[in-house]
Amino acid sequence: MAGLAAGQWFVDARERAVVAALARVDGVVPPLGDTVETSPLSTQEVEEYQLADLDLPAATVTAGADGSRSVVSSHVGADGQPLWSVPVLAPASAGASSGDAGPSDVSRCVTGAGKDATAVCVVSDAVLTVSDSVPLLRPATTTKVVVVGTDDGQVLSTWATGPAVAVASLPGVVLTGYADESSRVVTVVAHDETTGAERWRYTMPLSEGSAAAAWGIGRAVYTVGDLAVVTDEMAMTVLDADGRVVRDDLGRGDGVAAYGYVLDGALVVSTMTRSGEATTTVLAPDGDPRSDRVYTGDLMTPVDDGSVPGLVLTITSGSLPLAQQMGDESTRPGRGPGLRAYDSATGEELWYARLSTNAGPTGAIVLRGRVYVTSTAAAVVALDARTGRRVWKSADTGTDLGMFTDGRWVYSVVHRPLSSDDAWLVGWDLRSGAERWSARLPDGLEAVTVEGHTLLAIDFTNGRSSHLS
């Protein structure tokens, strides 16, 4: 008996060590208690989560009622006020109205690409308006670039420049961009970050159907590593740090919508055909198309403990007939909604699991050699990460209202009873799928999400989040 007790102690100790190690994985939350409790977020926490969710810089440009512009810290102090504010543009001419301030202001900041904590801002008195659904840009009379340290608000460099509504940052270089309405040409200029001196410029014609006035208001110019990406509604061009074209084959083809984003230091291009077929291309760091990785579906960014190195997951959303939803998931190659696994080194598809799901790109968890995902038919489905074989699935139907783990169990939001709006949080054993824990969410809370290691509950009626523990 003593030997059995010692053996059990060893097993329990090893389990505790594994759970402790998993607690350090981004996206894993601390263990929940017997009941769930909520507490409000502080103003600083709200600001931090918004910055993280939207990938916003640590500074923004605000417009005063008199048309002036200031660069303002995105972080707030205990009093709820910005940590610092720096006036950078004097009040506009008498012809400008106070109504020009606010959402129509085209000034913006991006995070500096250098080692220091900086924001790189294009500050302009240009104003965008919309009339009968047509964007109209009132040209700027004054435009300048401001580089500011985000720790203390110190202006590190500033210079006047030509018209610009887009801004991006490479190490030591500031990129500005502007679309000319008459010539329908986009011009991107690279400036020395310290002096503002021009290093190079790149021009491209606007694609047919693209509105010059609206160009640059979104992420028309952005950077990844030492590469710059210039886009409009129908084109995407990749340049190197010296302005040379690296790729110009990433635009939208006939009937195909495409957009790019940066993930883990790589440029990812997602395309969607008119028939709804999604493809994801991860570009090689040097832009060489021979080293691209092309995957079917939308790329997922799961909570991942690294137990299956090189595993890439994609999801193709959609619905399946009820009989297929309730049946076994197939690991044979196939089309339609489901989860796919690839080898990142070779791009080879390893397996396909048929699932009816609308799970978002973060709706998966990889722990201890298994993949956990939610589906229409089941709140949680556990798959062998190396083969795609289903290990277990929950009896509760999926709701797509949140799934997470504390390293002991995997949790999901379900409706109990199914026909009600009562939201319950249920925890299942990672290995066996046995239900281990459940609690009804407080009234008004309908979904959960994770920020870092913090579990948040969401109230859909007002969009507010609260701590959940």
pLDDT at residue 101, as a whole number: 38
List, in sequence order, every beta strand (DSSP E) within 221-348: 221-224, 227-232, 235-239, 245-247, 256-263, 266-273, 278-282, 293-296, 298-299, 303-304, 311-316, 338-343
Look at residue 245 and give its three-state secondary structure.
strand
In the sheet where 298-299 sits, what is the strand order? 298-299, 311-316, 338-343, 349-354
pLDDT at residue 111, as a whole number: 94
pLDDT digits (tens, 9 = 90+) for 71-124: 999 888 878 789 999 999 888 643 344 443 343 678 889 999 988 999 999 998
pLDDT at residue 160, as a whole number: 94
More confident residue, 279 or 371: 371
pTM of the model: 0.83
CATH architecture of 25-42+297-468: Beta Barrel (2.40)
pLDDT at residue 51, as a whole number: 56
- The model's confidence at residue 39, banded by pLDDT at 50, 70 and 90, is confident
Distances (CA, A) of 242 to 24, 111, 147, 193, 198: 40, 20, 21, 14, 12
The ranges of the chain annotated as CATH 2.40.128.630 are: 25-42+297-468
Least confident of 61-65, 190-194, 359-363: 359-363
- Name the amino acid, one letter, at 176: T
Q: How far is CA 383 from the centre of its chain?
A: 25
pLDDT at residue 330, as a whole number: 59
The mean of the pLDDT values for the chain is: 84
pLDDT digits (tens, 9 = 90+) for 8-25: 444 466 667 777 778 888
pLDDT digits (tens, 9 = 90+) for 144-172: 999 999 999 999 999 999 889 899 999 99
pLDDT at residue 234, as a whole number: 77
The structure tokens listed for 238 are: 């990749």
Flag whether pLDDT at 68 surpasses 90.
no
CB atoms under 10 Å from CB of 9, counted, come to 10
- The model's confidence at residue 64, banded by pLDDT at 50, 70 and 90, is confident
d(CA 235, CA 255): 13
